[in-house]
Structure 1
Amino acid sequence: MSIAILDDNQLNSAEPILSEAGFGAMETSRGNLPLAALDLDVEIVGLIARVKLKQRYYNTHTQPLEATYIFPLPDRGAVRGFKMTVNGRVITGEIKERGQARREYDEAISAGKSASIVEEERPDTFTMRVGNIPPTAFAEVELELVMPLVWRAGEATFRFPLVVAPRYVPGMPLPGGQVGTGISPDTDAAPDASRISPPVLLPGFPNPVSLSIDCSIDGAGLEVQNIASSLHAITSGKSGSKHLIRINPGERVNRDFILRFQTSGAELGSSLTVIPDSDSDKEATFIMTLMPPMSAVDMRRPRDVVFVLDRSGSMQGWKMVAARRAVGRMIDSLDAIDRFEVLAFDTVIETFEDTPTLKEATNRARYRNVEWISKVEARGGTEIAPSMETALKLLSDRSRERHVVLVTDGQVGNEDQILKHVKKHNHGARVFTVGIDRAVNAGFLNRLAQETGALSELVESEDRLDEVMDSIHAMIEAPLLRQIKLGFDGATLIPDSLTPREPLTLFAGSPLQVMGRLSLNGEVRARVRAAGRSGELIEEVVASSSTSDTAFSAVWARAQLRKLEDRDVVEGHSSNRNKIIELSLKHKVLCRHTAFVAVDHSSSVEGKLLQVTQPVEQPDGWDSDGFGGGMALMSAAPQQGAYTQSGVMPPLPGSPLPRHSPASPAMYSKERKAESAAAPRKKSLLGTLTSFFSSDGFSEETEASEISEDAEVNELKILWQTLLNLLDLGSLDETLRSELEDVLEEIEAGTANTLEDLMAHLNAIAQQHGIKTDTEPAAESLEELEALAPVSLDVAFSAVLREIRRRLP
């Protein structure tokens, strides 16, 4: 049987449901997932898009339903409108402080009222809850947002994400209950991991969501040509001067929707648009676009460039191939006056040579590093922070251009921690990001680049990589303009209103968009002063035009809110919280500290509330064995109460468990066997184990941070889990597997968590089953391990693995 997507008439005439599908059901005749449809209505005028996103939920059950959906939105999109429709009644949502909005929603649900609330978790990740949907009834929520298009080298891009991909979550588990209903436990590195980790449908699940996208494009004076969608099939036409685009039926919600078009027909120069406040003629918002100067001096400065290559499990398949090609081609573009290094990272950092160091970009050095990169394969977890720290420490020579180029899919849950870490260790280097994925974590990559005054480029296919390599090369050149200063005639810049934050820089091929607030006192024009590549003074005067379109003000408010939020993140406090809330409420633009809530007070529903977290599709282009690092595939089934992990399918082969993943310890216990009977246990390896067991040795020179005693115990638990997976790969009988799992349970219970206990258990089991082993653990090895463990985690793992390898052939 398959899930049928019914039309309105079919759903309205549906018979009452008398029984529910069993746990773990892959499909039913009526479907058991609440999200029935996503409708996207997009209107593009010039380089601004206005979007209405409708999510339609249907309660197939005999009791009231609360549906939770973790979904993405464009990170630069300003959510400024919300409404809910239930049983034919339309309720306009209100934006309120987040705690107040949650209280109103919870009180409404407790009283049997239908209600909905939308909250921001990350700049591009949101949570929707729609509660007390009556049995056999629809509920529809609509979000209204505005966003700027990315424009580079004559090409405009509208990117709308459709699925939140699994993300690697490092750190130690936090005590107490989870703050969300996702599958990743909250940790000290990502305290809200359970709010950004939706369950993932098992492979082969029928298409559960109907997707429609309608888009119109009005060039507003620009000629629009060569419209193309890179990941979804579309049908296009024209109505007057507007281009009409519609996605073809049957397209899935498992990748970003990306629409690109060329612009021509008008000479594009720097521009300044002023938007006076509707309630005052004394203040205004401005948006200025600075175009690269045609007369800029092409003077090449020596560069130090560190390429940071993500080789984690989620990069498997075409992404790893594209990432290797991208880094290789950037290395080939370096000159002899440049210096470079390449760091390939997962849970460890590897380089072509033993110790990371900048080397001159000679032909020999470039060739040898490109050859080494071509053999890098995906494995392990996505430990970005240590690799970024290593890269930034290499860039200390302030007399040279200093760049880090991070090539990754960005699928991590500890974005704030990484941002703060980079700020701490960075002393003026720019961090350029190249995001490679069809469901890329664009919000994080854009934040990281913008925080350091750099750029981000997103690549959704190998073909697209070829198209944008010139743009990527241009990114790592010296800026065309630096130290850009703005002055105004007829207005005064309101302090701390400028986005992006200063110092402002402009790169070849990429216009710089600057926004801010002005106090008006006359006719406005801008004066731009900047330094060129050779230090020459560049000056430009830009006249202004005015508009009453509030979309521009919303775009500025969104950028300003994110700037203030990131400032609190990198500075480690929340001093801007009240300012953020005030700005969000004034402009009615959603942020982390506010939420939209809608409550239907006209009627109530009765019955015990059924709670379901909507699973999402496996991202397109991800190998099934790319779900590593604590990221699990989920079966789709409704449960009472918060979504639990009882439907977890373990990571698939080739996807190493992260050393610090708190999701791992509970993933292989005995009680999970029965629940996953329909899907046989899969195996997973640590990235470090992959290296060790596939070679004759293991590098003990990898630098690692200090760890606490508790952290060491947790690491050993994960080591033992990985050992079980290794043994599972062989032809071992069920009795041996069971005994090994008994040992794991003892370790998890804390009754056998010393190193000596672990080695003794392994020794006893090996002897009992006739596996060649020594009579007792090597005391000197254990003493060495105990001494090294607090200092270097990698060296500790090396000693343990060497001992295990010696005992178990």
Structure 2
Amino acid sequence: MLFLISSSALEQTTAEYKNKTLQQSGEKLTRLNQEERRRTAVELYGCKMNCCGLITVQKEPVPLKSIEVELEVRDHVATVVSTLNYENKEDKPLEAVFVFPLPGDAAVCHFSAKIGQTQIVAEVKEKQEAREEYDDALSSGQQAFLLEESEQSPDIFTLSVGSLPPGESASIRLEYVTELAVQADDGLRFCLPAVLNPRYQPQGSGGASVQVTSVPASLVPYSLSFSARVSSPRPVSKVESNCSLDPLQYVNTEQTQATVKLAAGHKFDRDVELLIFYKDAHQPTAVVEAGQASAKPGSLMGDPVVMLSLYPEFPQSVMSSGASRGEFVLLLDRSGSMDCHTSNSKPQETRIGSARDTLLLLLKSLPMGCYFNIYSFGSRYEHIFPKSMEYSEKTLEEAVKKVEEMTANLGGTEILQPLKHIYSQPCIPNQPRQLFVFTDGEVSNTKEVINLVKKNSGSHRCFSFGIGEGASSALINGLAKEGGGHAQFITGNARMQPKVMQSLRFALQPAVVDISVTWDLPKGVSVTVLSPPITALFQGQRSLVYAQLTGESSEAAQGCVTVKYSLAGHPSQNQLHFTLKPAEDTGLTVHGLGARTLIRSLEMEERENRGQRDGGVKKKVVELSVQSGVSSSFTAFIAVNKGNSEPIQGPLVHRNVPTGRLLRSLGASPAAYVACSRSGSTSRATQHASLACDSLPFMHLRRACSALTMSFGARKNKSAALSKIDKSLAAFDDDVDDDTDDKSAMPTQPCRDPLLQLVSLQKASGCWLLDPALAAALGKTSEELDKSKPASVNQEVWATILALIWLHAFKTDAKEEWELLAMKAVSWLRAQNAPCVEECVEAGNTLFGCEMQKNVLGL
């Protein structure tokens, strides 16, 4: 392993944290000169030093000056044009390398460069061929530009800008198209990733991971301008964002077109997230796009392509029956990065803390009769029970106790091994397995993880949750897509609980089986489906299908698609009729997305057959990528300025452009700060890695060393490694007295949310007990509860009705979070066949000063 530490971070370590207390008492911290600090860091982390690994604004100029982004949203498809402006202010030719994130399902379809008045449009070529052409151009003194997708994760790209002469400027234009996912509140989510956290490289994994030169997001030395234009057949009701926006401007009176842009003064310190809301968004649609006139008829780009948005409607009689069975397996990330703040506006709330609260709510909402287990992972994995256990009061209490003790103390992000263990466990008859994965999604072996989920998709559904800025969209979306589930992202001020509860509702829906899609087209028109078969359908959720249409038809001709499926033993179907007349002004957006969909399917097939392949699938991917101009893991965009009159002279200076990363909280495990690479790699993207130790207090060095030893596992003998770390720590001399304890540095425990306090008291059966803890959660005294209770009513019945009244009266804004556990409470009350329910509701209303009706409570 090769670890690189910036000199600025080393210069900072003693000055900034010299008075922090070490975790072992009696050791003193002395003033170390730079060379001593270098040697100490090498001893502590077992790494080599190279100061050019992290480019900082203090030490070296950064060639990327600004990014301009123009977003066009048509219904639920987004076209994004990014212009990256470079300027070489040094006296030598530069090569700038920028590793940056894009949405994991984006189809990059255009790449060009402008130097002075010269415009160069890149071509898509096989990746190794493109790299060789790039290197040849640099060695001959020509300007060249290379854009390539990571082979491990499709949401990471590397842009190399080569031979930029002194004083010269260059503009890089990058265009991609992507679908917008539907959120729990029916908004369409667009995310412009600004933050790219280092991807954790699993122990013993092969291949080199793409590395990121990163600085704290607030110090990113380039600016961002962002504007968006939204259009839809239906009115645009509103646009929300985690960043400050200028007011929404409607372009027409029908309000079907609108523009919006970031407010002045925006800092590129977070992902830019837009939520776009349409009126009547859940309408099936079909868009037919004409083929490219210059392409060969019969080819993907020469034929029309149709994009179908399907919203199946399930019979209400089947949906109301509900599901009361299932094996619920919850998999929680406890790596060091989960100690990061959930958002800048909530510094007291960490990702792991929010996840703990969410697991509590999830556990309390599970139905009686189901089975469950909880796994957590970091560099290793743990489970609460040896196997999934039946849901009961005893198992629930044990699980809740273990969850409350969970911290982000397991080191790295080894998600593959716990998944393998879960899939090795036999499924429970008549208890369909539902897997919930909570992670901040920073792993380098994304495709390997997704491939494993796909192999086991027949035995379970997978629901995934990306927590915080910088989560890998490729991982989160890929887990859900291949696992037949649903993906959610929790960023900014968004609460995790309502999104998780929406996914639980999906998981409790009966599984849809025997899904088939049939086409009814005019004579002479045939269809080639580009999308993989639909494996999951949920009430109210969109399914997208891309297909190539071959043959001639009249403009008035119509087609029909029928989706057939079986739901809880009931055969059902939905139909969508559409015109074959191509839509206007769509360009080749639908073709790009269709090509991307087929490319991803072929890449998955190639990985599944690796080791026994003949290269045929990879060849298909390369041919399709070149033909469509859409990126893949086996191709790259290459542009060479062959019009240079003279070769550029002088040695080429390599500069890594930093990408924003999130600062961890003071107590966070520093394992997540490390970006590591294999020292033998020849890839330009892996020449440098960084260790951001500028925000790491010395008081946490022991924890850091332990986490690093466990996470990156370079040493086989753990005790010897820890002994070496202890010797290194002993070299420091602490200026603080032995008995001094810097408690001010420790984060304070926030007060518990009253809703979560009430939820924590509910029993597995759905009832509450009449005790002082319940009184406190309801904001009353035990005496008040006892005095108000009707004489003939059972205490548990009274307590449960009070809890229901309080939820409906005072927590209506959080109904999505408590609705399922309230239904469980109502079911329990009905089973008691309790008398005097109406009298209890009236007494509860008097106690709380509200007017809730019995039928509103579900009674």
Same fold (TM over 0.5): yes
Query: Any conservation in 2 of the 1:684–1:722 contact (CA below 8 Å)?
Result: no
Give secondary structure in 2 for the equivalent of 1:378: coil
Alignment deviations for residues 682-709 of structure 1 (CA, whole Å, 9 cap, x no partner): 8514459999xxxxxxxxxxxxxxxxxx
Which residue of the other structure, out of 322, 328, 341, is the alignment partner of 2:360? 328
Unpaired runs of 5+ residues, structure 2, are: 1-7, 9-50, 341-349, 678-683, 735-859
Shift of 1:288: 1.5
Moved more, 314-323 or 679-688: 679-688
Name the CA distance, whole Å, in 2 between partners of 1:166 and 1:26: 17
Alignment match, 1:577: 618
Q: Which amino acid aligns with 1:431?
A: C
Alignment match, 1:228: 240
Alignment match, 1:406: 437
Which residue of the other structure, out of 91, 97, 102, is the alignment partner of 2:131? 102
Query: Any conservation in 1 of the 2:326–2:430 contact (CA below 8 Å)?
Result: no
Shift of 1:211: 1.2
Unpaired runs of 5+ residues, structure 1, are: 4-20, 173-186, 635-640, 656-678, 692-710, 735-809
Alignment match, 1:292: 312
Query: Any conservation in 2 of the 1:114–1:131 contact (CA below 8 Å)?
Result: yes
Does the C-alpha gap of structure 1 residues 715 and 458 become closer, same or farther in structure 2, counting only changes over 3 Å?
same
Alignment deviations for residues 112-137 of structure 1 (CA, whole Å, 9 cap, x no partner): 11111101113211010001111122
Name the CA distance, whole Å, in 2 between partners of 1:270 and 1:544: 10
Name the CA distance, whole Å, in 2 between partners of 1:511 and 1:399: 28
Alignment match, 1:270: 284
Alignment match, 1:663: none
Does the C-alpha gap of structure 1 residues 352 and 52 become closer, same or farther in structure 2, counting only changes over 3 Å?
same
Which residue of the other structure, out of 67, 71, 81, is the alignment partner of 2:110? 81
Name the CA distance, whole Å, in 2 between partners of 1:159 and 1:652: 27
Which residue of the other structure, out of 225, 228, 232, is the alignment partner of 1:212? 225
Query: Any conservation in 2 of the 1:358–1:394 contact (CA below 8 Å)?
Result: no
Name the CA distance, whole Å, in 2 between partners of 1:388 and 1:22: 38
Name the CA distance, whole Å, in 1 between partners of 2:629 and 2:666: 40
Moved more, 420-429 or 445-454: 420-429
Shift of 1:291: 0.8
* Percent of pairs with identical residues: 22
Alignment match, 1:773: none
Query: Any conservation in 1 of the 2:99–2:212 contact (CA below 8 Å)?
Result: yes
Does the C-alpha gap of structure 1 residues 267 and 432 become closer, same or farther in structure 2, counting only changes over 3 Å?
closer
Q: Which amino acid aligns with 2:222?
A: V
Which residue of the other structure, out of 582, 588, 592, is the alignment partner of 1:547? 582
Give secondary structure in 2 for the equivalent of 1:102: helix
Q: Which amino acid aligns with 2:435?
A: V
Shift of 1:419: 3.0
Query: Any conservation in 2 of the 1:275–1:286 contact (CA below 8 Å)?
Result: yes
Alignment match, 1:628: 671
Q: Which amino acid aligns with 2:287?
A: T
Query: Any conservation in 2 of the 1:113–1:601 contact (CA below 8 Å)?
Result: yes
Which residue of the other structure, out of 601, 604, 609, is the alignment partner of 2:652? 609
Alignment match, 1:528: 562
Alignment deviations for residues 135-173 of structure 1 (CA, whole Å, 9 cap, x no partner): 12211101011111112453111112123211110233x
Name the CA distance, whole Å, in 2 between partners of 1:98 and 1:209: 29
Which of these two proteins has the greater Rg computed from alpha carbons?
Answer: 2
Does the C-alpha gap of structure 1 residues 525 and 626 become closer, same or farther in structure 2, counting only changes over 3 Å?
farther
Shift of 1:290: 1.5
Q: Which amino acid aligns with 1:369?
A: A
Report matched runs for 1:11-26 at 5 Å. Answer: 26=56
Query: Any conservation in 2 of the 1:684–1:725 contact (CA below 8 Å)?
Result: no
Which residue of the other structure, out of 558, 561, 564, is the alignment partner of 2:596? 558
Shift of 1:633: 10
Query: Any conservation in 1 of the 2:339–2:667 contact (CA below 8 Å)?
Result: no
Q: Which amino acid aligns with 2:211?
A: S
Shift of 1:627: 4.0
Query: Any conservation in 1 of the 2:212–2:675 contact (CA below 8 Å)?
Result: no
Shift of 1:575: 3.9
Query: Any conservation in 1 of the 2:217–2:661 contact (CA below 8 Å)?
Result: no
Which residue of the other structure, out of 191, 208, 212, is the alignment partner of 1:192? 208
Shift of 1:396: 1.6
Name the CA distance, whole Å, in 2 between partners of 1:24 and 1:454: 39
Q: Which amino acid aligns with 1:199?
A: T
Shift of 1:728: 4.9
Report matched runs for 1:42-441 at 5 Å. Answer: 42-121=71-150, 122-152=153-183, 154-172=186-204, 187-188=205-206, 191-193=207-209, 196-201=210-215, 203=216, 206-218=219-231, 220-230=232-242, 232-241=243-252, 242-264=257-279, 266=280, 268-279=282-293, 283-293=303-313, 295-296=315-316, 297-298=318-319, 299-301=321-323, 302-317=325-340, 318-353=350-385, 355=386, 357-379=387-409, 380-397=411-428, 399-423=430-454, 427-441=458-472
Does the C-alpha gap of structure 1 residues 65 and 393 become closer, same or farther in structure 2, counting only changes over 3 Å?
same
Q: Quick check: 1:502 aligned with 2:533? A: yes
Name the CA distance, whole Å, in 1 between partners of 2:164 and 2:535: 49
Name the CA distance, whole Å, in 2 between partners of 1:554 and 1:646: 33
Shift of 1:384: 0.7
Name the CA distance, whole Å, in 2 between partners of 1:253 and 1:204: 7
Report matched runs for 1:681-696 at 5 Å. Answer: 684-686=704-706
Give secondary structure in 2 for the equivalent of 1:628: helix
Give secondary structure in 1 for the equivalent of 2:494: helix
Name the CA distance, whole Å, in 1 between partners of 2:485 and 2:267: 33
Alignment deviations for residues 59-101 of structure 1 (CA, whole Å, 9 cap, x no partner): 1211100001111111222111111012332212122222222
Give secondary structure in 2 for the equivalent of 1:226: strand
Query: Any conservation in 2 of the 1:478–1:533 contact (CA below 8 Å)?
Result: no
Alignment match, 1:724: 724
Name the CA distance, whole Å, in 2 between partners of 1:32 and 1:689: 34
Alignment match, 2:516: 485
Query: Any conservation in 1 of the 2:438–2:467 contact (CA below 8 Å)?
Result: yes
Name the CA distance, whole Å, in 2 between partners of 1:216 and 1:275: 20
Name the CA distance, whole Å, in 2 between partners of 1:335 and 1:582: 50
Alignment match, 2:846: none
Query: Any conservation in 1 of the 2:101–2:193 contact (CA below 8 Å)?
Result: yes
Name the CA distance, whole Å, in 1 between partners of 2:322 and 2:115: 62
Name the CA distance, whole Å, in 1 between partners of 2:165 and 2:128: 26
Shift of 1:509: 3.3
Alignment match, 1:32: 61
Higher relative contact order (CA 8 A, sep 6+): 2
